[in-house]
């Protein structure tokens, strides 16, 4: 197999050097201890021709490791066959062999859904990788609502996806948002601990209800505009569908521009009329992400500046109040 074919069929290799504490252990145990590799992923590596090697030699998971051994993982490349590539302007914040982090604009769905196969972030990413000659499957680690802008992480291989998903389940991934809401919260900083479930009349709509899933949102007011509006920084304690939008409405401060979770008292207000031409979607932006790199272990802190519509909204609120 020539080099070009090899690149087309395998992801870039990932290497680890065995430590003294790994001496005498089986390879499978070292990988589980060092990186928490799942059984499912271990099977994929075992059945791949170049999946597992030590010091350049193909081995099985029960191979005994010595200190200083060079352990190499290499997974067969995949591609999202059902996602057609589509040229699209992408705002790439970070990329390496393992991750792609993008600043998603509002109005763009992350992944194709039934009846919506084109004009999604996934279509644009597939075209971008195709143009680079990379054979990669689209693996979003998390998602944003269609009309929420900001940072989205896409894993470029199964190991990166597994590692980041584990971090999210453990609550070590920090996701921060900036939003502009009507009114002023009862406190300048606090937490909203209120369970969220589906609304009986409209299963797509979420509401706070006693039998809902536990939901925790931390907030800090960074600016107030009289008693009419507030700028708020938000950090998620949990990650439920529509969580921020539901929790803000729950405390009487619906997000400006959010027609789905709006309140009648604000809909016909002078402020709502004034900003309707400035922003036509919920004023919510995923501005910061912090996590450990799934392969190198490096602490990652990524940021995305406010989009133009939210900056114009901020300027209008500052000017008016």
Contact yes or no for 164/291 (Cβ under 8 A):
yes
User: For 155, which DSSP code?
Assistant: E
Beta bridge partners of 303: 288
Helix (H, G, I), strand (E, B) or coil at 217: strand
Which residues make Cβ contacts (< 8 Å) with residue 114, sequence separation at least 6? none
Pairing of strands 229-236, 216-225: antiparallel
Asked whether 287 and 176 are in contact (CB, 8 A), the reply is yes
How many residues does the structure list for the chain?
321
The first and second tokens of residue 8, run together, are 């087309």
What are the φ/ψ torsions at residue 234 (nearest 5 degrees)? -125, 140
* DSSP 8-state class, residue 130: H
DSSP state of 120: B
- CA gap 75, 161 in Å, rounded: 13
Distances (CA, A) of 291 to 119, 165, 169, 253: 29, 11, 12, 29
Angle at 277 between CA 231 and CA 270, to 5 degrees: 65
Count CB-CB contacts under 10 A for residue 13. 12
145 is catalytic: yes
**Catalytic pick among 22, 69, 145, 309:** 145
CA angle 3, 4, 9 (to 5 degrees): 95
C-alpha 212/C-alpha 191 separation (Å) is 17
Query: What's the CA gap between 46 and 52, in Å, rounded?
Result: 6
Q: Which residues are catalytic?
A: 145
């Amino acid at each position: 197999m020539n080099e070009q074919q090899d690149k087309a069929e395998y992801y870039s290799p990932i290497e680890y050097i065995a430590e003294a504490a790994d001496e005498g252990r089986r390879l499978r145990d070292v990988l589980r201890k060092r990186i928490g590799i799942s059984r499912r992923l271990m099977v994929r590596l075992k059945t791949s021709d170049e999946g597992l090697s030590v010091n350049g030699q193909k081995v099985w998971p029960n191979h005994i490791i010595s200190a200083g051994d060079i352990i190499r993982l290499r997974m067969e490349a995949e591609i999202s066959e059902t996602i057609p590539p589509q040229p699209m302007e992408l705002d790439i914040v970070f990329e390496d062999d393992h991750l792609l982090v993008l600043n998603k604009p509002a109005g763009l769905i992350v992944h194709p859904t039934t009846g919506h196969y084109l004009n999604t972030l996934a279509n644009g990413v597939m075209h971008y990788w195709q143009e680079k000659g990379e054979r990669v499957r689209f693996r979003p680690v998390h998602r944003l609502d269609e009309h929420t802008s900001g940072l989205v992480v896409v894993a470029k291989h199964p190991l990166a996806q597994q590692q980041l998903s584990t971090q999210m389940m453990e609550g070590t991934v920090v996701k921060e948002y900036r939003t502009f809401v009507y009114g002023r919260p009862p406190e300048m900083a606090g937490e909203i601990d209120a369970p969220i479930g589906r609304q009986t009349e409209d299963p797509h709509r979420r509401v706070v209800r006693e039998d809902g899933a536990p939901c925790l949102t931390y907030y800090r007011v960074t600016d107030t505009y009289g008693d009419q509006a507030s700028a708020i920084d938000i950090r998620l304690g949990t990650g439920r569908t529509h969580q921020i939008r539901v929790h803000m409405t729950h405390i009487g401060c619906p997000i400006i521009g959010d027609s789905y979770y709006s309140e009648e008292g604000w809909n016909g207000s002078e402020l709502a009329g004034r900003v309707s031409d400035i922003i036509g979607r919920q004023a919510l932006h995923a501005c910061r992400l912090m996590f450990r790199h799934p392969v190198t272990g490096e602490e990652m802190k990524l940021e995305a500046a406010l989009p133009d519509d939210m900056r114009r909204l901020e300027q209008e609120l500052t000017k008016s109040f």
